[in-house]
């Protein structure tokens, strides 16, 4: 049986449809996944960079790295409070962006930030500053911090 040119073209269009559409969908899904992973990594890197800057400030000013005894110098108290404010803002950003996500990569990132939050919430001066630091913050974040610390803000 011989096929005419039009019949061959029609057959090829069916083949292209059957193969092309699924291929395009798979390519699109793979690209979306790749972009999401890139976005996740960018978010994590930006937050880690911010945390590293806070740590650098503590290295540059070791007098501010005392978190278990009250600061005696008013200027040191002020600067330590600024660092605590930066930490609380960073923790809130991590909470808003990562907490409750179903994606395993986001869960892994969140667990890392949860370790940082727990670490800082054990520091006496930070805990004492928390009620003021929580003023005006996201209500869900405040509730989360209340659970973590056992405090009421």
What confidence tens digit (pLDDT) does each residue in 111-130 have?
A: 999 999 999 999 999 999 99
Torsion region of 53: left, alpha or beta (phi above 0 gives left; psi -120 to 50 gives alpha): alpha
112, burial (CB in 10 Å: exposed 0-12, middle 13-18, buried 19+): middle
Select from 120, 114, 119 the least CA-distant residue to 99: 114
pTM of the model: 0.77
SS3 68: coil
Q: Over 80: is that where the pLDDT of 56 sits?
A: yes
pLDDT at residue number 123:
95
Residue pair 113/57 in contact (Cβ under 8 Å)? The answer is: no
Length of the chain: 153
What does the angle CA 53 – CA 58 – CA 64 come to, to the nearest 5 degrees?
A: 145
pLDDT at residue number 135:
94
d(CA 44, CA 26) in angstroms, rounded, equals 27
Q: Over 80: is that where the pLDDT of 103 sits?
A: yes
């Amino acid at each position: 049986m011989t096929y005419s040119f039009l019949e061959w073209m029609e057959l090829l269009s069916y083949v292209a449809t059957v193969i092309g559409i699924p291929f395009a969908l798979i390519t699109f899904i793979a690209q979306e996944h790749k972009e999401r992973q890139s976005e996740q990594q960018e978010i994590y890197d930006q937050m880690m960079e911010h945390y590293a800057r806070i740590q650098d400030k503590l290295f540059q000013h070791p007098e501010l790295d005392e978190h278990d005894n009250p600061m005696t110098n008013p200027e040191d108290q002020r600067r330590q409070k600024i660092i605590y404010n930066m930490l609380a803002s960073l923790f809130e950003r991590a909470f808003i962006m990562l907490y409750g996500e179903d994606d395993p990569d986001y869960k892994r990132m969140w667990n890392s930030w949860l370790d940082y939050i727990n670490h800082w919430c054990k520091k006496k001066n930070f805990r004492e500053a928390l009620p003021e630091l929580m003023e005006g913050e996201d209500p869900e974040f405040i509730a989360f911090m209340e659970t973590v610390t056992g405090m009421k803000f």
